Structure 1
Amino acid sequence: MLTVIGLLSTTFGVSVASAVLPLISVELFAIGLVLTGPEIPWWLLALVIATGQIGGKLLHYSAARGVIRLPRLCQRKSEERTGRWRQWLERFRANCRQRPVWTGAVLLVSAVASLPPFAAVAVVAGWAEVPLSTFVVTGFIGRFVRFGALAIAPGAIIGWL
């Protein structure tokens, strides 16, 4: 049987892995842990998962900013693109710079509700050059709220029934 520290370490690893590879569900892992594991405070579980999630999403953010060099298979050809799509993307980037509150609100809502998916928003935030501090703070708060609510939910439902 794993100790609480071992479970929290495993939870951190699963949360990082799920942030990098969206096919892994940290939500299911967390619910299973809450229902079957030892008594872990909800805030500690949410803190560990939120930290791992932001750590993993920073890889997406950094790759979109060009800080991390992607394998050749994942890179675009260096041809310059023009047209409507490029213009729309440039306007979007300018809007993100001119409206930091709107940008932070979108990041926060996405981190809490995953609508739009936070993985996609992390990439767009990196591409749009959203400040790292804005991405980390709003993303962490949103992920903490999301996973805190998830950790509380099973006990609240059982208590209600």
Structure 2
Amino acid sequence: MASKIEATLALLKPDLFANPLAIARIEHAVAAHSFRIVSRKRVVWTTNDAQRFYAEHEGKPFFARLVTYMTSGPVYALALSKPRAISEWRQLIGSTRPVQMRINRPDTLRARFGLTDTRNSFHGSDSVQSAVRELELVFGPSAYAKFTAQ
């Protein structure tokens, strides 16, 4: 029996969008880990868009910095699919602390491309519920269902 296909939102944040060579390397890593890119899109967020996307972090000390960062330039959004896409994408990018990743897991994308805890270069959905919400915010209604149709 085949594993159920999941979809996840992968965001390459503004510092990466400005670096085409980095994007090519990341897309190579995505393919090497058997993810399917089912959709991709350049996104320019307003302050309201970023606040809505990261609403779960409102009130936390880093929230304003995160919103400023995410509105500082275009973001490259990828909808990725495969069995266990959510957990495997999060494994590939590593934790939100790039400096720790350089020491403990230098093979992760955040170790290779992340700058700081806030400017960590990537986003990955943390659950199916988050993936549904986030993919629909970026790619429109029913995006998760479309991207997981086998």
More strand by share: 2
TM above 0.5 = no
Give the TM-score, by structure 1 length.
0.21
Give the TM-score, by structure 2 length.
0.22
